[in-house]
Amino acid sequence: MRTVTFKVGDILSGEVTDLSHIGEGVLHIDGFPIFVAQALVGEHIQFEIDHIGQHRAFGHVIRWLSKSPDRVEIADTIYEETGTMPLQHLAYHAQLEFKQHQVQKLFKTVAQMPHIEVKPTIGMEDPYAYRNKAQIPIRMVDGQLTSGFYRRKSHDLLPMENFIIQEPEIDRAIIVVRDILRAYQVPAYDEYSHSGVVRHLIVRRGHYTQQLMLVLVTNGQVLPHAAEIVSEIIKQLPEVVSIIQNINEEKTNVILGRQSMVLYGQDYYNDQLCGHTFNISHQSFYQVNTIQTEKLYKKAIEFAQLTAQDIVVDAYCGIGTMTLAFAEKAKHVYGVEIVRDAIENAKENATMNQIKNVTFTAKDAGQWMVQQKNKGLRPNVIVVDPPRKGLDRKFIDAALHVSPDRIVYVSCNPATLARDVKIITDSNLYEVKEIQPVDMFPQTHHVETVVLMSRVDK
């Protein structure tokens, strides 16, 4: 361990030389890295040391001695306090460059591909008001039911009405429901005493259909004045097509419980994606940025280079959003997903869109791939869109065994993406052809990436 020449509470100064993977400024004192939020590359800052760990320290800015030309005026400090827009102080063109650089860096260090080209990040014309889903904690503040967001690294609720990155109609719906709950004096949940009723409000909106779904997460079966509350909501928000009560009686940070009931409408709303219509239930995964999702999927389809004779496997397919897009160009697409409800949703969506050349299976993708390998399935293209943890090794081994012409990897975590790409290419069967980041979450450090790997002998 390096000798640290400073202590907590020391006030130091230095130049920021890099950004961490979450957008914190990085500088060094006597070779020891220090991470400082809100600082940008090239800035000279005075900062205070807050914490010293074994390999890095953390601090906060006291004042700027010089500022980056990429620094922009922030909308409000509350977005720093809650962490909802951690990159709001960085000009948008620089956010896109930052995300490209992060992917490039991980392919250099983790995938060990220092010379691989990462294309410029595909961004948005307007990098605000893009989220089609909100999960809002509800708590009592000064004796009144209040909506907002937690202060970073705490469960202290900060009242908020304008989230900026959510579609404005979602922000409005939150306020309407909050005020109705206040009018009927419904108590908010208290996590310390495990008392009260409403824990969270979830609002989902169809970007193209404008349909709204509301989910009231309650601490118990009873929602006082439920009929009156529902009546008032649909009177003030006629776009609402679904109101769900989800019951979560556990002492947990997990938002949704296992039991739900429909209070109004049905347990789904509709939206369109790449020309297809989808039923989306309250439990279904659906990308939160519709505009950028269409760009991401179009890039994945382009990378797949499909012909009318191709067999495609879409692993981790969810409710079939990408599966149906591929099915328009391929002979047949197999969609596999471990969440059974999502597969039922996917089957309904295929029927609703009159797409017949798809087969959906509810199974662990790794197990399914091994079984299909043993049955002799030989897909031309495998498409994967796994969770943040990336691919199971058994899935990778099975995919390598069936040896498709192309593997298209869609990822929400560039670190596990780089790890998995290295495993696949170390087989000497595949090589990386293209890497394309897509900005699904402007004003944050998150980035989606799609990678094309082609078989070496093709």
Rounded CA-CA distance 133/342 in Å is 17
Model confidence at 153, in pLDDT bands (50, 70, 90)? confident
Q: Is the per-residue pLDDT at 1 higher than 80? A: no
If you average pLDDT over residues 238-252, what whole number do you get?
A: 97
Buried b (16+ CB within 10 A) or exposed e, 22-52: ebbbbbebeebbbbbbbbbbebebebebeeb
Identical fold, 11-71 and 133-273: yes
Mean pLDDT computed over every residue of the chain:
95
> Which carries the bigger pLDDT value, residue 276 or residue 376?
276
State the catalytic residues: 412
Q: Is the per-residue pLDDT at 15 higher than 90? A: yes
Whole-number percent of the chain with pLDDT over 70: 99
Q: Among 16-30, 150-164, 365-379, 433-447, whose mean pLDDT is lowest? A: 365-379
Neighbours of 234 (CB within 10 A): 17
Is the domain 11-71 a CATH 2.70.98.90 member? no
Q: What is the pLDDT of residues 344-400, one digit of tens each?
A: 999 999 999 999 999 999 999 888 988 988 888 899 999 999 999 999 999 999 999
If you average pLDDT over residues 41-68, what whole number do you get?
A: 96
Q: What is the pLDDT of residues 180-192, one digit of tens each?
A: 999 999 999 999 9
3-class SS letters over the chain? CCCCCCCCCCEEEEECCEECCCCCEEEEECCEEEEEECCCCCCEEEEEEEEECCCCEEEEEEEEEECCCCECCCCCCHHHHHCCCCCCCECHHHHHHHHHHHHHHHHHHCCCCCCCCCCCCECCCCCCCCECEEEEEEEEECCEEEEEEECCCCCCEEECCCCCCECHHHHHHHHHHHHHHHHCCCCECECCCCECCEEEEEEEECCCCCCEEEEEEECCCCCCCHHHHHHHHHHHCCCEEEEEEEECCCCCCCCCCCEEEEEEECCCEEEEECCEEEEECCCCCCCCCHHHHHHHHHHHHHHHCCCCCCEEEEECCCCCHHHHHHHCCCCEEEEEECCHHHHHHHHHHHHHCCCCCEEEEECCHHHHHHHHHHHCCCCCEEEECCCCCCCCHHHHHHHHHHCCCEEEEEECCHHHHHHHHHHHHCCCCEEEEEEEEECCCCCCCCCEEEEEEEECCC
Is the domain 107-123+289-455 a CATH 3.40.50.880 member? no
Write down the domain spans for the chain. 11-71, 107-123+289-455, 133-273
Q: What is the CATH number of domain 133-273?
A: 2.40.50.1070
Model confidence at 457, in pLDDT bands (50, 70, 90)? confident
If you average pLDDT over residues 153-163, what whole number do you get?
A: 93
Question: With a threshold of 0.85, does the pTM exceed it?
Answer: yes
> Which carries the bigger pLDDT value, residue 300 or residue 1?
300
